[in-house]
Amino acid sequence: MFRPQIKVLDCTVRDGGLINKWQFTDDFVRRIFYALSRAGVDYMEVGYKSSEKYFSRSENGAWKFCSEDDLKRVVGDLDTKMKLSAMADIGRIDPEDILPKKESVLDMIRVACYVKEVDKGINLAHHCLDKGYETTINLMAVSKVLERDLDEALDDLSKSAVPVIYLVDSFGAMYSEQIHFLAKKYMEALPGKELGIHTHNNQQLAFANTIEGIIAGINRLDATLYGMGRGAGNCPLELLLSFLKNPKFDIRPIFEVIQEILIPIKGEIEWGYHIPYMITGILNEHPRSGMKAMSAEKLPDLRKFYEGLLEGTPD
């Protein structure tokens, strides 16, 4: 009925913050933390770990930085088995800004990098491992990567000490066949390592592709409350927990927090399936042009938007 090795990570605050520059109130983050903890979720990714010399706090909320003061103020006094994670992007964090694990509320740091940066990603992940954190590498935008380049990156990762590698459909462009193909490739190239999957919903396939990953043997699963995330959003956590049928999960706190804070905020901040995001997904393009179209006062002519992307001139 269920696979006990599976672990679920909720990245609502981290991925959802890409919509509003992480301008979430302390109460918003605390209530999500409490609901996820009661629901039995394994990890909550509370934001990015970024260096303040690269980003301004006047433009970005606290969860772009995840300082210890911010973390302790909001979740530091709550007793839970759920672990806390933050994501570190290559080029946006200095290694010296990552404290030793014994001085941090965080349990895990996930390093996000592109194939061309995999050596830098491995170095940062090893730095985090040496400081005592659980660590993963999330290899982004692989739908745009030549297979030989991906094979070389996976070979480098196989020789690293990083225990968990994520398959990421950054543009929501993949279908089940591609998920299955890549999951098999990752498993063959990375013996002894755990695999994770992170999907986007441009083609309304985030949940289905996550299921395909589970079928293929992936045990680390990303999702967000109500699918909240950049552009078309992510695999909805409520669907995933219902599918997994693990008795440790209790979906009732998830329904409560969605009704109390996610549905109201969706009236202010837009995410989810829309035609501009669908177009970027089917064309395997970054969703930034779709986000620009959705933020305009008037939706553009969708046929012209599609044709512009085909021609490489989305504006």
Same domain, 173 and 285: no
Same domain, 210 and 237: yes
Report the candidate in 280, 275, 281, 277 with the shortest Cα–Cα distance to residue 308.
280
Same domain, 189 and 303: no
What is the per-residue pLDDT for 87? 98
Q: What are the distances in angstroms from CA 76 to CA 51, 131, 153?
A: 21, 20, 37
What is the per-residue pLDDT for 75? 83
Q: Does 73 map to a domain? A: yes
Same domain, 12 and 151: yes
What is the per-residue pLDDT for 79? 73
Same domain, 294 and 259: no
Contact 163, 193 (CB under 8 A): yes
Same domain, 11 and 143: yes
What is the per-residue pLDDT for 312? 80
Q: Does 1 map to a domain? A: no
Number of domains forming the structure of the chain = 2
Report the candidate in 221, 157, 145, 209 with the shortest Cα–Cα distance to residue 186.
157
Same domain, 199 and 232: yes
User: What whole-number distance in Å separates Cα of residue 189 and Cα of residue 157?
Assistant: 9
Contact 196, 309 (CB under 8 A): no
Report the candidate in 18, 25, 22, 105 with the shortest Cα–Cα distance to residue 67.
105
Dihedral angle sign, alpha carbons of residues 101, 103, 106, 112: negative
What is the per-residue pLDDT for 130? 98
Domain span including residue 283? 275-311
Same domain, 262 and 279: no
Q: Does 2 map to a domain? A: no
Q: Does 94 map to a domain? A: yes
Vertex 238: Cα angle to 263 and 225 (nearest 5): 45
User: What whole-number distance in Å separates Cα of residue 72 and Cα of residue 315?
Assistant: 44
Report the candidate in 13, 276, 292, 15 with the shortest Cα–Cα distance to residue 169.
15
Q: What are the distances in angstroms from CA 1 to CA 40, 164, 194, 195, 222?
A: 17, 24, 21, 21, 20
In three-state form (DSSP H/G/I as H, E/B as E, the rest C), the secondary structure along 35-77 is HHHHHCCCEEEEEECCCCCCCCCCCCCHHHCCCHHHHHHHCCC
What is the per-residue pLDDT for 314? 59
The overall average pLDDT reported for the chain is: 95
Report the candidate in 292, 288, 294 with the shortest Cα–Cα distance to residue 271.
294
What is the per-residue pLDDT for 251? 97
Reported as half-sphere exposure (CB side, CA atoms, 13 A), residue 99 has a value of: 13
What is the per-residue pLDDT for 47? 98
CATH of the domain at 143: 3.20.20.70
Same domain, 181 and 283: no
Question: pLDDT tens digits, residue range 22-59?
Answer: 999 999 999 999 999 999 999 999 999 999 999 999 99
pLDDT (tens, 9 = 90+) of the chain, 315 residues, equals: 689 999 999 999 999 999 999 999 999 999 999 999 999 999 999 999 999 999 999 999 999 999 999 999 998 777 789 999 999 999 999 999 999 999 999 999 999 999 999 999 999 999 999 999 999 999 999 999 999 999 999 999 999 999 999 999 999 999 999 999 999 999 999 999 999 999 999 999 999 999 999 999 999 999 999 999 999 999 999 999 999 999 999 999 999 999 999 999 998 888 999 999 999 999 999 999 999 999 998 999 999 999 999 988 655
Same domain, 246 and 304: no
Classify residue 10 by burial, with Cβ atoms within 10 Å: 0-12, 13-18, 19+: buried
